[in-house]
Amino acid sequence: MKATVLVRLKGEVLDVQGDAVRRALGKLGFDGVTDVRVGKIVEIEIDEVHARAPDLKERLQKMADEMLANPVIEDYEVRL
Amino acid sequence: MRALSCYRFSPVKACVVVFPGSNADAEMIHTLRDVCGAPTEVVWHTETALPAGVDLVALPGGFSYGDYLRCGAIAKVSPIVPAIRAHAARGGWVLGVCNGFQILTEVGLLPGALTLNVNRRFECGDWFVKVTAEGPFTPRVGDVWRLPIAHGEGRYQADEATLRRLEGEGLIGLRYCTSAGAIDEAANPNGSLHAIAGIYGGSRKNVFGLMPHPERMSEEILGCADGRKLFEAVLSRAA
């Protein structure tokens, strides 16, 4: 099965990359874009045995806490 | 005569940890070994122990693991990292420069994180920093050093509570400043909060991370030797 982890900069962290994308969209003539935030999607394939394990979600959260996201500046969301 | 000769037979042992993608290891080794005279070993990231009796562990700049995921994120699971943690826990000196600083924050030996420069540019050039807290790597408060920077992700960020603690406990060793030593946003190359260029961690300020490259400005022939003050300070205290 495939699990998806969405990693986003925390709301209070200035997203300079998103800001550059917002400006670029404006230059292309897309009006009305007031804010852009750029994040990451991490897709994780899990084998059948581990996909059935009752602690799957906790393991994915641990992966996010320990590696996929930096909790100092990022939030994450695990989707199964 | 060069002042560095007094360290020619330094009893202090140093090592430089090299990761795949490190690119400032050669100048770190040169500065420690040839300029400061400290016996310096090179440690590859797959090793699990530091050289016996090492006093100072230096993590050089570069782009370890291509900055994949986040700067320093993959390096933190390198086999050598538990030994670096144990060295720091024993009170041993640990220095992280640029990517080395980013790795130390990812490992959790220093608080906060380094993020994209506020102006979105890779900044490369000489800037000024001021010693704003006394410590083993920054001996004299008020000193202004000219040091080169070369990074795209050097904007220091931490939450308010962490910034208050860093201020309150005197852990902000270096701040960006003007040539005259004034802390001014125009003199801050990357938008770091509180103009932070370098911070201390560890139980006795034995861990230090900074974005500028003192090892690239430690000899008069390079135009300025301000960076050597950092190395001389810690090498004279270690051992």
pLDDT score of B171: 98
Phi/psi for A34 (5° steps) reads -95, -20
Asked whether the predicted pLDDT for residue B1 surpasses 70, the reply is no
pLDDT in tens, B196-215: 999 999 999 999 999 999 99
pLDDT score of B6: 46
How far CA B187 is from CA of B178, B180, B197, in Å, comes to 5, 11, 11
The residue assigned the tokens 């799957």 is A56
Domains of chain B from N-terminus onward = 14-235 (3.40.50.880)
Chain A residues with beta carbon closer than 8 angstroms to that of B69: 67-68
Q: Does B190 touch chain A (CB under 8 A)?
A: no
pLDDT in tens, A47-78: 999 999 999 999 999 999 999 999 999 999 99
| Rg (alpha carbons) of chain A, rounded to whole number | 16
Asked whether the predicted pLDDT for residue B192 surpasses 60, the reply is yes
pLDDT score of B17: 98
Contact B100/B59 with Cβ under 8 angstroms?
yes
Minimal C-alpha gap between A26 and chain B (Å): 17
All residues at 6 or more sequence positions from B196 whose CB lies less than 8 Å from its CB, including other chains? B112, B156, B166, B172, B174, B175
Q: Which residue of B has its CA nearest to A14?
A: B118
pLDDT score of B10: 66
pLDDT in tens, B59-117: 999 999 999 999 999 999 999 999 999 999 999 999 999 999 999 999 999 999 999 99
Domains of chain A from N-terminus onward = 2-79 (3.30.1280.10)
Say which of B117, B158, B191 has its CB closest to residue A72.
B158
pTM: 0.93
Cβ contacts below 8 Å, chain A against chain B, sum to 32
How far CA B115 is from CA of B33, B75, B156, B236, in Å, comes to 32, 17, 7, 33
Three-class SS of residue A3?
strand
Residues 19-78 of A with CB under 8 A from B: 19-20, 67-68, 70, 72-73
pLDDT, mean of residues B117-138: 96
Q: Does B123 touch chain A (CB under 8 A)?
A: no
Say which of A67, A68, A73 has its CB closest to residue B157.
A73
| Residue-averaged pLDDT of chain B | 94
Residues 77-96 of B with CB under 8 A from A: 77
DSSP B126-158: EEEEEE-S-BTTB-STT-EEEEEEEESS-EEE-
Contact A1/A51 with Cβ under 8 angstroms?
yes
pLDDT in tens, A9-61: 999 899 999 999 999 999 999 999 999 999 999 999 999 999 999 999 999 99
Asked whether the predicted pLDDT for residue B5 surpasses 50, the reply is no
Q: Please answer yes or no on whether A17 and B120 come within 8 Å at the CB atom.
A: yes
